[in-house]
Amino acid sequence: MATEGFTTCLWFDGQAEEAAHHYVSIFKNSSIGHVGRYTEAGPGPAGSVIAVDFVANGHKFVALNGGPQFTFNEAISFQIYCDDQEEIDYYWNKLTEGGGEPGPCGWLKDKYGVSWQVIPNGLIDMIGDPDPEKAARTTQAMLSMGKLDIAALEKAHAGE
């Protein structure tokens, strides 16, 4: 894996390799890179995975088996911009399956506790519309949703 640019490091407690394969299975333009293993020097059991380099949707990640001392929270999340409802449904379903948790306003946590925002392209423009009534209607509609419904957001924005 190249070392230029940015790489996001995700800290896991023993699930790094499983998580990397999970994310690669969901996103296009994804692959597993180097899998690093502990040696006899430790600190983990020799042969167990310490870190996995992977690419998900063209973004570089390292999944690190760092232990239980740190966990994920909503202070950091990944935004997935979607072109249509089918794409929103796909990512929402894939990321919540197996123990993920749906949240409000397009937010969710996957089964590892990583937070994601699954949102339609154009949502930021609609809720930031210079027409305050359009922006307010769209925002109110969004606030009432878990998984976002593009048609309903567009109707709210249009005042229908």
Residue 129 per-residue DSSP state: -
**pLDDT score recorded for residue 2:** 53
What is the tens place of the pLDDT at every residue in 15-72?
999 999 999 999 999 999 999 999 999 888 899 999 999 999 999 999 999 999 999 9
Average model confidence (pLDDT) for the chain?
Answer: 95
Q: Is the pLDDT of residue 116 over 80?
A: yes
Strand partners, 49: 37
Q: How would residue 127 be classed by pLDDT, with cut points 50, 70 and 90?
A: very high
Percent of the chain at pLDDT exceeding 70: 98
Residue 58 per-residue DSSP state: T
Q: Is the pLDDT of residue 3 over 70?
A: no
Grouping H, G, I as helix, E, B as strand and the rest as coil, residue 67 is coil
The angle subtended at Cα 155 by Cα 149 and Cα 159, nearest 5°, is 145
CATH architecture, domain defined by 77-158 = Roll (3.10)
| Crossing angle of helices 150-158 and 85-96, rounded to 10° | 130
Contact present, 133 and 140 (Cβ < 8 Å): no
**pLDDT score recorded for residue 128:** 96
Q: How would residue 133 be classed by pLDDT, with cut points 50, 70 and 90?
A: very high
Global pTM exceeds 0.95:
no
**pLDDT score recorded for residue 5:** 83
* C-alpha distance from residue 30 to each of 111, 130, 153 (Å): 19, 38, 31
Q: Is the pLDDT of residue 1 over 60?
A: no
**pLDDT score recorded for residue 34:** 97
In sequence order, what are the residues at sequence separation of 6 or more whose Cβ sits closer than 8 angstroms to the Cβ of residue 12? 19, 63, 64, 65, 66, 112
**pLDDT score recorded for residue 42:** 80
Domain borders along the chain are 8-65, 77-158
Distance CA 125, CA 76 (A): 22
Distance CA 30, CA 107 (A): 22
Which pair of structure tokens corresponds to residue 57?
Answer: 């949707």
Contact present, 12 and 64 (Cβ < 8 Å): yes
Q: Is the CATH number 2.60.40.3140 carried by domain 8-65?
A: no
Mean pLDDT, range 78-106, rounded to an integer: 97
